[in-house]
Structure 1
Amino acid sequence: MRTSAAPKSNRGSLSDHAYETLRHRLIMLDIAPGDAINEATLSDELDVGRTPIREALKRLESDHLVVSFPRRGTFASNVDLTDLSTISEMREVLEPIAARKAAANLEATRREEFTAMISQLRELGTDVGQRTLMEHDLSVHRLIYGSVDNPHLTETLVRLDDLATRIWCLVIPRMPDLIGHIREHIDLLEAIVEGDEEAVAELAADHVRDFDRTLRAALR
């Protein structure tokens, strides 16, 4: 019989597991905006105690992905489409900085990961589903953020990308060329591998601006 709380030595890893799993579901809208978060159900489903679930939910509330109300419970936060402009404003500044840092600090092992990602993107066919394309987009951005030697910048960009992805998931059926948007990453990743800091900064900013324009067109 599973106990309701993990030993202290394992609690951190269990909380991290719960956090990563729930965060992904929230940003991909597998947990829809406004849905109630049931701790008991999640505890059984993820096979962890209530304490790691609560710890994960506290972190997700700081990420603005869930919201808690006294005596009512915890819910997936609503997606505010008006946030797009402020999110894009910050990403247009920070994404080029991250891309520059990735290009300047790319180590051999990480270079192999970038090369493998480029190959994956080149192999994407027109028959690939929207969900798969979205997963690739997340993987590309996480790869870049993970190559930045600045944890504060990484944390901020992950949070902004999560919020942008939730907006994207709402309008994705109205996007005409999703695979084209995903393939835009190829030039950016190649420039990072080549260490071309000027090019990566420009490409990263252009990508954010194109993302913003595309979403605004879909929202009309």
Structure 2
Amino acid sequence: MTSESGRAESSTRQPQAAPLRDQAYVALRDKLVMLEIPPGAPIHEEEITSSLGLGRTPVRQALRRLEVERLVAIHPRRGTFAADVHITDLSQIAEIRLHLESQAAGWAAQRATQEERDTLRSLLVEMQQAESDDPAKLMELDSGMHRTIYQCAHNAYLEGSLTELHNLMARIWYLFAPRLPQAARLMEDHAPLVEAIIAGDRDKAQHLAARHVSDFESAVKAVL
């Protein structure tokens, strides 16, 4: 009876909540990436802890992590600020992403489980049904698609590196999205890429991923 009871309790146990530092990190990361906290703006711990309902320790841990990821700048005796967005960083970020995104897409085509391929299909349908005149929603879906592809590559180090690079790129997107006439078309590029991954076509997935990165860089440079 004890064994049966234990199994019953285990099957009904609710998933554990993410650690507080991770909750603080995700909330702050999204605000920084989506420019809800503008580049260069001061970040006050008191306001953050109050708005998130968290203590100082997890918020400080999150800020230190975000500093490592170049999303915040911490200056002793001056304070903490949202990192500036430097358009000169675009080429360097794209140069790295060009190779890593291609590798991730190729591995995803080879390694993704059927469940992961189904998830990619669902995300693609959601993206295709989204309103093309809502840049924020498009970028939210784009980020979800990229992060899922990174997970499908089944390499934690590659996933971590690409996630950080994508966050930096996304800030540039939010800064220039209103001036990008082909923003919706860039999102449409995901369809053949996702189809290639689902079909297990490594070479095609790698080619399309690299082209997607290159097209984004060209689109931003065209409006500078």
TM-score, normalising length from structure 1?
Answer: 0.91
- Work out which of the residue numbers 22, 33, 43 in structure 2 matches 1:27: 33
User: Which residue of structure 1 aligns with residue 187 of structure 2?
Assistant: 182
Gaps of 5+ in 2: 1-15
Task: Write the distance in 1 (CA, Å) between the matches of 2:89 and 2:163.
Answer: 16
Matched, 1:208 2:213: yes
Q: How far off is 1:12 after superposition?
A: 7.0
Partner of 1:193: 198
Unmatched segments (≥5 aa) in structure 1: 1-9
Deviations 1:158-179 (A, max 9, x none): 1111111111111111100211
1:167 equivalent among 164, 172, 181: 172
Kindly indicate whether the alpha-carbon contact (under 8 Å) linking 1:99 and 1:192 is maintained by their aligned counterparts in 2: yes
Cα 1:138–1:11 shift into 2, 3 Å: closer
Give deviations 1:5-39, integer Å, cap 9, x for gaps. xxxxx997100000011001101111001111111
Q: Is the contact between residue 145 and residue 154 of structure 1 (CA under 8 Å) also seen in structure 2? A: yes
Report what 2:96 is aligned to: 90
> What is the aligned counterpart of 1:49 among 51, 55, 63?
55
1:81 to 76, 83, 87: 87
Moved over 6 A (4+): none
- d(CA) in 2 for partners of 1:179 and 1:85? 22
> Match of 1:74, SS?
strand
Q: How far apart are 1:150 and its partner, in Å? A: 1.2
* Deviation of the 1:218 alpha carbon: 1.4
Count of aligned residue pairs for this structure pair: 209
CA contact (8 A) 2:130 2:137 kept: no
Q: 8 Å contact 2:101–2:209 — kept in the other structure?
A: yes
Fraction of identical pairs, as percent: 41
Which residue of structure 2 aligns with residue 7 of structure 1? none
Q: CA deviation at 1:122?
A: 2.4
Letter aligned with residue 42 of structure 1? I
Shift of 1:124: 2.9
Is 1:117 aligned with 2:127?
Answer: no
Q: With structure 2 as the length reference, what TM-score do the two structures score?
A: 0.90
Higher Cα Rg, which structure: 2
